[in-house]
Amino acid sequence: MCTKEAAVGERVAMISLHTSPLDQPGTGDAGGMNVYVIELSRRLAAQGIAVDVFTRATSSTLPQVVEAADGVLVHHVAAGPFEGLTKGELPGQLCTFAREVLRTEAMQPLGHYTAVHSHYWLSGQVGALARDRWNVPLVHSMHTMAKVKNAALAVGDTPEPVSRVIGEEQVVEAADLLVANTDAEARELVDLYGASPDAVEVIHPGVDLTVFTPRDRRESRRSLDLPEDAVVLLFAGRIQPLKAPDVLLRAVEVLLRDDPSLRHRLVVPVVGGPSGSGLEHPSALADLAADLGIEDVVRFVPPVTQGDLAVWASAATAVAVPSYNESFGLVAVEAQATGTPVVAAAVGGLTTVVRDGVSGLLVDTHEPRDWAASLRRLIDDPTLAERLGRGAVAHAQEFSWEHTAELTLAAYQRAAGRMRAEMAS
């Protein structure tokens, strides 16, 4: 369709099939990927690159097209029943979704899109078809990978099916360029999926540094009805075994068992909603808090906006990210940008996002006593907490969506070059 020499970056088709960038992060399938897609799209549009995001419609009341920002259109594609369809059932709707995406492009002038950027393997399957039909490069972001997840399953979590593994392998083979969040993810793509090192580009996600910025902690606590002198240990994210909020609760039980006097000033907000296999037992975390005898210090908060999340993070003594795996760990960067140190599991992208001893603390295990010991260091040593808070702000400055967009645009251009070379060979 469009000529090979067309300038890449004029209009990008962004495919995010299973979760909409307009959804509230923190529950269901909405999380860091939602933030990634909308923030990257906005920054690309700010550089003059129009973006059309294609996502599956989950309600009959949704408009067919929504202008999410100047230069960013979100297309709600009807594919399967609007509600009640699990992520595991979505592969059966790939053909319908792809047909509607191709139909949208067919109504536009020749060469309407100059690149396709797909997110998660389901979208990659559609992106591969669009690449061949439109004759434009396919750039793909995995976000999570079945082989990595299955190698580090949380207790009670469900392994990813073989069909997903095969689908991911197919997308890796079809993509002109793969975007990895970190060096660790790049190695996983090469070692586990056989990707060519030359076809992998490491581009860190960003953080909105105008939203996540240092604020007065006492003022943040007052606005959230938290005691100014409280010890606030925050978890923010989807409540599912992979994210391991139970590790924080079990660590809190250890803290209180070792020091009962801490109980009167300890607050443990859990900001988010059930997701993934956590949907099977939506009250499991609350039940655990009761079983551990710590329900009086745990406060469950529904998912909040990015602005409100910034207030929660700035109010915290520390933000805990005990996930069993993270391709990046956006919440950890966002928390650090507010000046709050992060205690994180030393897994995946978190080893890049958190600088141990500089912007936070990394924990090598998921044992509650090890987590309690790391959290105790920040509780007992305000000087350490303040130093890590300053380091957190400085470290977060390395991650901005503007920089992410610049590198991604260069990746589109590189992918186009790879595609031209392949066609010429």
Do 349 and 185 contact (CB within 8 A), yes or no?
Answer: yes
C-alpha span between 129 and 105 (Å, rounded):
13
Is 316 annotated to bind a ligand? Reply is: yes
The architecture that CATH gives domain 11-206+401-424 is: 3-Layer(aba) Sandwich (3.40)
Is 32 annotated to bind a ligand? Reply is: yes
- pLDDT of 378: 97
Phi and psi based region of residue 156 (left: phi greater than 0; alpha: psi -120 to 50; beta: remaining): left
Q: Which of 265, 270, 259, 272 is CA-nearest to residue 226?
A: 265
Q: Report the chain's mean pLDDT, rounded to a whole number.
A: 92
Is 164 annotated to bind a ligand? Reply is: yes
Q: How confident is the model at residue 338 (pLDDT cuts 50, 70, 90)?
A: very high
Angle at 59 between CA 57 and CA 65, to 5 degrees: 50
Phi/psi of residue 304, nearest 5 degrees: -125, 165
Is 326 annotated to bind a ligand? Reply is: yes
Max intra-chain CA distance, the chain: 72
pLDDT tens-digit readout, 399-419: 999 999 999 999 999 999 999
Is the model's pLDDT at 271 over the cut of 90? Answer: yes
Do 349 and 328 contact (CB within 8 A), yes or no?
Answer: yes
In which residue ranges of the chain is CATH 3.40.50.2000 found?
11-206+401-424, 217-396
Neighbours of 399 (CB within 10 A): 21
Beta bridge partner(s), residue 17: none
Is the model's pLDDT at 421 over the cut of 60? Answer: yes
- pLDDT of 419: 95
* SS3 annotation, 239-291: ECHHHCHHHHHHHHHHHHHHCHHHHHHEEEEEECCECHHHHHCCCHHHHHHHH
Do 82 and 59 contact (CB within 8 A), yes or no?
Answer: yes
Contacts of 195 (CB under 8 A, 6+ apart): 172, 178, 189
Burial grade of 64 (CB within 10 A; 0-12, 13-18, 19 or more): exposed
Structure tokens at 237: 């994210």
Is 33 annotated to bind a ligand? Reply is: yes
Is 243 annotated to bind a ligand? Reply is: yes
Is 304 annotated to bind a ligand? Reply is: yes
Is 87 annotated to bind a ligand? Reply is: yes
Do 113 and 415 contact (CB within 8 A), yes or no?
Answer: no
C-alpha span between 69 and 38 (Å, rounded):
9
Is the model's pLDDT at 28 over the cut of 70? Answer: no
Q: How confident is the model at residue 257 (pLDDT cuts 50, 70, 90)?
A: very high
pLDDT tens-digit readout, 173-205: 999 999 999 999 999 999 999 999 999 999 999
Q: Which of 51, 57, 101, 99 is CA-nearest to residue 76?
A: 57
Is 23 annotated to bind a ligand? Reply is: no
Is the model's pLDDT at 11 over the cut of 60? Answer: yes
Is 30 annotated to bind a ligand? Reply is: yes
DSSP for 149-198, written as a single string: HHHTPPTTPPPPPHHHHHHHHHHHHH-SEEEESSHHHHHHHHHHH---GG
- pLDDT of 1: 35
C-alpha span between 134 and 190 (Å, rounded):
27
pLDDT tens-digit readout, 347-392: 989 999 999 999 999 999 999 999 999 999 999 999 999 999 999 9
C-alpha span between 85 and 93 (Å, rounded):
10
For tokens 């300053």, what's the residue?
Answer: 390
C-alpha span between 5 and 417 (Å, rounded):
9
Mean pLDDT of the region 28-34:
72
Tell the CATH superfamily of the 217-396 domain.
Glycogen Phosphorylase B; (3.40.50.2000)
Contacts of 187 (CB under 8 A, 6+ apart): none
Reduce the DSSP state of residue 307 to 3 states and report it: helix
Is 340 annotated to bind a ligand? Reply is: yes
pLDDT tens-digit readout, 53-112: 999 998 889 999 999 999 999 999 999 888 877 878 899 999 999 999 999 999 998 889
Is 31 annotated to bind a ligand? Reply is: yes
User: What's at 375, amino acid-wise?
Assistant: L
C-alpha span between 114 and 175 (Å, rounded):
15
Is the model's pLDDT at 277 over the cut of 50? Answer: no
Is the model's pLDDT at 142 over the cut of 90? Answer: yes
Helix axes 32-46, 401-424, angle to 10 degrees: 80
Output 59 or 27, whichever has higher pLDDT.
Answer: 59
Structure tokens at 13: 């088709």
Q: How confident is the model at residue 25 (pLDDT cuts 50, 70, 90)?
A: low
Order of strands across the sheet that contains 266-271 = 298-301, 266-271, 231-236, 318-321, 342-345, 360-363
